[in-house]
Amino acid sequence: MNAGEEITLRVWRGDAAAGRLVDYRVRTAEGMVVLDALRAIQATQAPDLAMRWNCKAGKCGSCSAEVNGHPRLTCMTRLTEVAGEGNPLTVAPMRAFPVVKDLVTDVSWNYEKAKEIPPFSPAPRDPDGRRRMYQHEVERVQEFRKCIECFLCQDVCHVIRDHPENKPKFAGPRFFVLLAAYEMHPLDTANRVEQIRQDAGIGFCNITKCCTEVCPEGIHITDNAIIPLKERVVDQHYDPVLWLWRKLTGRGKTSAATPPPSR
């Protein structure tokens, strides 16, 4: 594909009742991303083409869609990466969520799940009113907090993608990442293990790593969040004494150099 050339975008149009792929011709420009092409269609050919976008810089996670069948942020997907020789480029809504219209899906399930996560509950401040945590302790938590809630990991997750019946008892990769961010926070005091096992249903995950592959932030969802959480579940479920020892000594939770004052 060269700048100035016309290409075909095959965009899914429709609503909850029915839909079909519609072809649009778009003249490309240097460095154009899929979102640019969709907006060009909206501005000149289909003003009612529904899609979400906000920042156009890969920071807000609004413009998720399936480009040629792959879950992507359309704002960070350059046409040169995905436009094949002579073949139309297909853009469809995320498949794991019900369609509202065109590329917009009903992602409210994620926001309902978010409400089920018990909030961060920190140990009290140090006597001088500050909290001390060291960079090496917070780095793994910071990886999880890079999540932009694009829900691509939820979209691609096998547990729910083809089995919507699992949605009530499964939180999905996004919320394992959130739970991991709290659980591994040096100052969090809550015991989240039962929540992770029972309510979030981490046992459903069979570690296929699809979530990790689609994460636009490069979070190692499976290796750094899900597997350690699974280990904690196993440890506590089968060995509550070991869990208590960890809690008391701070091992696996916070470094011995900075025990929260309450302990």
Which residues, listed in sequence order, are joined to residue 22 by a DSSP beta bridge? 11
Cβ–Cβ under 8 Å, residues 147 and 178: yes
26 makes contact with another protein (CB under 8 A): no
Could you tell me which residues come within 8 angstroms of residue 208 by beta carbon, excluding any fewer than 6 positions away?
158
51 makes contact with another protein (CB under 8 A): yes
Q: Which is nearer to another protein, 128 or 165 (CB)?
A: 128
91 makes contact with another protein (CB under 8 A): no
Phi, psi of 79 (to 5 degrees): -60, -35
Position among 10, 12, 14, 76 found at the interface with another protein (CB under 8 A): 76
- How far apart are the C-alpha atoms of 234 and 98, rounded to whole Å? 34
Q: Which is nearer to another protein, 33 or 226 (CB)?
A: 33
Q: Determine the 3-state secondary structure of 98 from DSSP.
A: coil
131 makes contact with another protein (CB under 8 A): yes
14 makes contact with another protein (CB under 8 A): no
Position among 23, 25, 27, 54 found at the interface with another protein (CB under 8 A): 54
- CA distance to 57, 176, 211, per residue, from 221 (Å): 22, 8, 7
Position among 6, 18, 129, 262 found at the interface with another protein (CB under 8 A): 129
22 makes contact with another protein (CB under 8 A): no
Position among 14, 19, 58, 252 found at the interface with another protein (CB under 8 A): 58
59 makes contact with another protein (CB under 8 A): yes
Phi, psi of 85 (to 5 degrees): -60, 110
Q: Which is nearer to another protein, 241 or 257 (CB)?
A: 257
Cβ–Cβ under 8 Å, residues 26 and 11: no
5 makes contact with another protein (CB under 8 A): no
Which residues, listed in sequence order, are joined to residue 67 by a DSSP beta bridge? 70, 91
**Closest distance of CB 88 from another protein, Å:** 20
Angle (CA) 25-27-30 rounded to 5° is 145
Span 172-201, contacts to another protein by CB under 8 A: 178, 181-182, 185
- Secondary structure E strands in 111-229: none
Pairing of strands 64-67, 99-101: unpaired
State the sign of the Cα–Cα–Cα–Cα dihedral 218, 219, 223, 224.
Answer: positive
138 makes contact with another protein (CB under 8 A): yes
Q: Determine the 3-state secondary structure of 66 from DSSP.
A: strand
Position among 5, 87, 98, 120 found at the interface with another protein (CB under 8 A): 120
Position among 107, 153, 157, 180 found at the interface with another protein (CB under 8 A): 107
Binding site for another protein (CB under 8 A): 15, 29-33, 36, 42-44, 47-62, 76, 78, 100-102, 104, 107, 111, 114-115, 117-120, 122, 125, 129-135, 138, 141-142, 145-149, 178, 181-182, 185, 258
